[in-house]
Amino acid sequence: MSAMRAIIWRELLRFLHQRERFVAALVRPLVWLLIFGAGFRAALGLAIYPPYDTYIRYETYIVPGLCGIIVLFNGMQSALSIVYDREMGSMKLLLVAPISRQWMLFSKLIASASVGLLQVWTFLLIAYLFGIRVEPMGYLLATPAIFLTALMLGALGLAISTLITKLQNFAGVMNFVIFPMFFASTALYPLWRIQENAPWLAKVVEFNPFTHGVELIRFTLYGKLEWVNLVVVVACLGVFFGLAIWGYQSKRGALKRKFR
């Protein structure tokens, strides 16, 4: 537990000292919320179906999706920080510490999810000040869903970090992981609208783990729980974290060497 506290505290201090990272994490969803949200509402109509089958503002509908994009980018940023630590040599100090490698990775995962949750809370506060609100109980119920989604995406970042050997390769992660996961999801559009216009894309969206994380956040914000989304998120968390552990095992570097 002392090792976990030290790793979490280190990640929080790093995040607080990197103010540009904090601002960038908030500017991106706020642009979608305040600028694109208004345009999409004008194009798609004044209201759209939320999970509880009534009409609400489009900006309110996309808030869960923007919470998802925050934790998605944070998970990938955590992968970038691990690659940076590996290049600078500080990662070696963690790997040779007198704790199991699995516990070290789990501590990094908890630290990443905690930072992501802090970013989402700040975003929701700003959205609240702009008049985009849900029921007060929804914020409380959505907090575990946001943290669980952040764990899943952080585990994905850990798994990806085993494949990245240079910081310059992170641009490929942006183009081939983050943006496809975000746009091929229900973060911006409901699934029924995607099915009407592109049935083949709807199949891709349904198999996207990010979609289930966004829907888990969206339903809990409105006081509901979809068990299918919860099961998929937990299962993907286990698979991604298992891949990360396998990739970082000293005797199982084949996964990392194969993709170099």
150-193 tens-digit pLDDT: 999 999 988 888 877 666 666 666 677 888 888 889 888 878 77
Alpha helices in the chain (DSSP H): 2-17, 19-31, 37-44, 58-88, 90-95, 101-129, 136-161, 170-173, 179-183, 191-197, 199-206, 209-221, 227-248, 254-258
Q: What is the pTM of this model?
A: 0.84
Six token digits for residue 255:
């996964």
Residue where the block lists tokens 């090792």: 3
Q: What is the mean pLDDT of residues 84-91?
A: 66
Task: Name the domain count of the chain.
Answer: 1
Residue 78 bridge partners (DSSP):
none
**Least confident span in 95-99, 144-148, 174-178, 219-223:** 95-99
Provide the pLDDT for residue 256: 46
Q: What are the C-alpha distances in Å from 105 to residues 65, 71, 91, 243?
A: 27, 18, 11, 11
What span, in angstroms and rounded, lies between the C-alpha atoms of 179 and 85? 25
Residue where the block lists tokens 């891949």: 243
What span, in angstroms and rounded, lies between the C-alpha atoms of 28 and 70? 8
Per-residue burial over 145-165, b = 16 or more CB atoms within 10 Å of its CB, e = otherwise: bbbbbbbbbbbbbbbbbbbbe
Residue 48 bridge partners (DSSP):
56
Look up the domain containing 174 and give its range.
Answer: 2-258
Q: What percent of the chain has pLDDT over 90?
A: 18
Residue 54 has phi, psi (to 5 degrees) of: -130, 180
Q: What is the mean pLDDT of residues 48-64?
A: 67
Q: What percent of the chain has pLDDT over 70?
A: 77
Question: How many Cβ atoms are within 10 Å of 41's Cβ, its own excluded?
Answer: 17
What span, in angstroms and rounded, lies between the C-alpha atoms of 137 and 223? 7
Handedness of CA 8, 221, 173, 21 (dihedral sign): negative
Cβ–Cβ < 8 Å for 129, 200: no
Question: How many Cβ atoms are within 10 Å of 227's Cβ, its own excluded?
Answer: 8
Provide the pLDDT for residue 131: 81
Contacts of 108 (CB under 8 A, 6+ apart): 7, 11, 78, 82, 154, 158
